Amino acid sequence: MANPGSPAPDPPLTVQDRSRTIVVSGLPRSGTSLLMAMLRAGGVPLFTDSLRTADDSNPHGYFEYEPVKRLTPDAPWLTWTAGHAIKIVIPLVRRLPPDFPCDVLLLERAMPEILASQAAMLSRCGMPVVDPRLLGPAFERELRSTHETLASRPDCRVLTLRHRDLLSRPFEASEETARFLRMPLDPAAMAAVVEPTLHRQREESL
């Protein structure tokens, strides 16, 4: 029993309002697939069709839902995502309809790392690599526009997470995510998913 006059303990985590969708977003190669894998390990149901399978670029898988690539505000499947986590990368996340209650986990990564990772993935697939001098500024504009759009939406709660923190402080990042989502997740299980050796493009070495 607590001593009289002692501070009240923090209230326990409650299960997230199941009318809300968890949206994992970020620029390509910013860690969205890793975060989806962490959420699954922590106990969050994912909304994915598993069509795009794991490869050398994403050993844990991509956790995508193919119709997201053709997202329109009136997409009927959006109503099915309540209580699930779905990956909707930038710029597609800006197409979400108004009054769509969601908790957005927005990943950010150092731009040189994103560009190097993107180039490596395209090379592995035998696809042409876009000039980073053009792609970098375009990505920066998309990220700024996404921040502005999400900040203007009262139906969206946003937590910005750094890719570097997922890799260097996975347990703490998982705890922060659980608090934001107000869900009793398993931070230890989430952190166990992280493999720092997969951080192959590091800003300090580029």
Residue 180 lies in a domain: yes
Per-residue pLDDT tens for 74-106? Answer: 999 999 999 999 999 999 999 999 999 999 999
Lowest average pLDDT, out of 30-44, 59-73, 156-170, goes to 59-73
The number of distinct structural domains making up the chain is 1
Residue 131 lies in a domain: yes
Residue 13 lies in a domain: no
C-beta of residue 187 within 8 angstroms of C-beta of residue 159: no
Q: What CATH number is associated with residue 128?
A: 3.40.50.300
Give 172's pLDDT tier (boundaries 50, 70, 90): very high
Tell me the residue range of the domain where 137 lies.
21-195
Residue 203 lies in a domain: no
Per-residue pLDDT, averaged over 58-75, amounts to: 91
C-beta of residue 108 within 8 angstroms of C-beta of residue 57: no
Residue 8 lies in a domain: no
Residue 31 lies in a domain: yes
Per-residue pLDDT tens for 99-125? Answer: 999 999 999 999 999 999 888 876 777
